[in-house]
Amino acid sequence: MEPGARRARAPARGLTCLLLLGLLAWPGAGAQEFQVLQPQGAVSVSAGENLTLNCSVTGNPPAGPVKWFKGPTRQLVYADSGSDKGSFPRVTKVNNIDTDLTIRISDTRPEDAGTYRCVKFKKGLRVDEEMGSGAGTAVSVSARPSAPSVSGPPSRAEPGTPVNFTCTSGGFSPRNITVTWLKNGAPLPAPQTRVLPEHESVSYNVSSTVGLNLSAGDVRSQLTCQIEHSALAAPLRGTYNLSHALRVPPRLQVSSDPAGPVTRNESVMFTCRAEGFYPQGASLSWLENGNETDPGKPSRPTENPDGTFTLQSFLEVRATEQRNQSVFTCRAVHDSQPPVSDSTTLRVSLPHAEPGKDPASSGGEGPLPEEKMIYIAVAVVCVVLVILLIAVVCLIRVRQRKGKSSASVRLQEPEKSPSAALQDSDPNNLTYADLNFEKPKKRSTRQPPEPSPPSEYACIQKGRPAAADNNLTYADLDMVHLSKAPKRPAPWPEEGASEYASVQIQRK
């Protein structure tokens, strides 16, 4: 190049440099070009997803760090330099360009919701100077509720008992949620649902309770808790089998084959049938007159179409006379509950006892049948009546014999006249009584005459009293048995005879 041309271009280059220096020296020229741009006004993300927050600067940014803050309290969530760098493992810078301050939050959580601001600092000697910040980005985290969990009562309940079931879920956001209960696919009445906490929070929990009356047919029924939320593409469901909360007691029935009264020494088969119970665990046992006896032969439980079970037990006994009117009881124990039982009575038909044959010789020592007891009672009554009748007859005859054989003698002194009384007062008089009885004699043409019975003689004498004694002496004989004739043999009847005695007082 020629030297003239070089000289011509030199002034032009100098002019350009002067213009650039003038622009840089002009106050505010560089500051107007520096800006922090945060274009996202609001962002919604589901929990667990990655969130990208955009931020950039324009112009010639000053040297210094970039930081991200959350909420009005300016909680630091990212710093690209300094001691805070690396304190946030889930937050990283997207690229290494100085003008691009975009960050990424991995595995977002409900607590990540809030307003984020991007701030550019100018490095200072002691404290960094804030140069500018973005308008802020509002972040909302939509959290899915957890899988619903359904719980029932602490112990089994029998049919007809009201039972409460509870469905719980948590960790969801926003707060609005819907809970629906279904039984075998059919909706149940509105449950009692409560969302906690009631104030604003980053995540929420829900608890819903429904009441239900169980029935014996609910062994195969299923209860469903359905949850709907904005963070869900489809409802969540939790199920509960009502058989876990249901207990159906067994229905017992005891029968015998043959039915009714049976003949002695015949074999009888008792059957105990426990049906319609749930759960399966049950046991059967036998009692005879309240005492445990042969356990019998139980069968295997069989499942019914409705999900309940049936169990049978068999007991074979011999119908002996000792077992007549014996009570056989079947006892069932189910699901550790108090036992239930049912009974039947064994009736043995016993043959009537033959005349002259001891009923006990028939080999039985057990209880007598009703007919035999009636016969024995009638016989005892008859015997008692006969004994009473014989006693009455004997008593009557004894009294009659006493009346015929007894001889009564009544000695009665005739009334005395006054003159006789004067004579009787004479002490020289002697008073005596001479009793000589002789029964009349009857001769029989067929038998020789019987000898006369001996006569009885009674003599009452009174000696001469002392001169000083002036008393009246007398004799009084009343009811004196003088004689009793021997009893004549049959066929001649006894002769009744009466004895009389007279007392005469003669004056001397």
In terms of CATH architecture, what is 251-349? Sandwich (2.60)
Judge whether 485 and 453 are in contact, CB under 8 Å.
Answer: yes
Place of tokens 């309240």: 290
Judge whether 318 and 366 are in contact, CB under 8 Å.
Answer: no
* 462 — pLDDT class (breaks 50, 70, 90): very low
- What are the residues facing 36 on neighbouring strands? 57
Lowest mean pLDDT among 6-10, 181-185, 396-400, 486-490: 6-10
Report the pLDDT averaged over residues 142-156: 94
- Tell me the percentage of the chain whose pLDDT exceeds 70: 69
| 256 pLDDT more than 80 | yes
| 357 pLDDT more than 90 | no
Give the pLDDT score at 467.
45
Tokens of 191: 């449950």
| Residue 167: other Cβ atoms inside 10 A | 26
| 293 pLDDT more than 80 | yes
Evaluate the CA torsion angle 114, 120, 123, 126 in order and state its sign. Answer: negative
> Same CATH fold, 251-349 and 149-244?
yes
Hey, which CATH number is domain 149-244, 2.60.120.260, 2.60.40.10, 3.40.109.10, 2.40.50.100? Answer: 2.60.40.10
More confidently predicted of 281 and 486: 281
* 109 — pLDDT class (breaks 50, 70, 90): confident
196-211 confidence digits (pLDDT tens): 998 888 889 999 999 9
Give the start-to-end residue ranges of the domains of the chain. Answer: 32-142, 149-244, 251-349
The pLDDT mean for the chain works out to 77
Place of tokens 């015997």: 383
Give the pLDDT score at 128.
84
Judge whether 63 and 117 are in contact, CB under 8 Å.
Answer: no
| Residue 432: other Cβ atoms inside 10 A | 15
| 3 pLDDT more than 50 | no
Give the pLDDT score at 65.
86
CA distance 202 to 3: 77
| 454 pLDDT more than 70 | no
- Tell me the percentage of the chain whose pLDDT exceeds 90: 44
CA distance 78 to 94: 12
* 508 — pLDDT class (breaks 50, 70, 90): very low
CATH of domain 32-142: 2.60.40.10
Give the pLDDT score at 399.
85
CA distance 501 to 408: 9
| Residue 106: other Cβ atoms inside 10 A | 12
Give the pLDDT score at 131.
86
| 334 pLDDT more than 90 | yes
CA distance 146 to 172: 7
| 54 pLDDT more than 70 | yes
| Residue 233: other Cβ atoms inside 10 A | 5
Give the pLDDT score at 122.
87
Lowest mean pLDDT among 229-243, 347-361, 397-411, 437-451: 437-451
484-498 confidence digits (pLDDT tens): 445 555 444 444 444
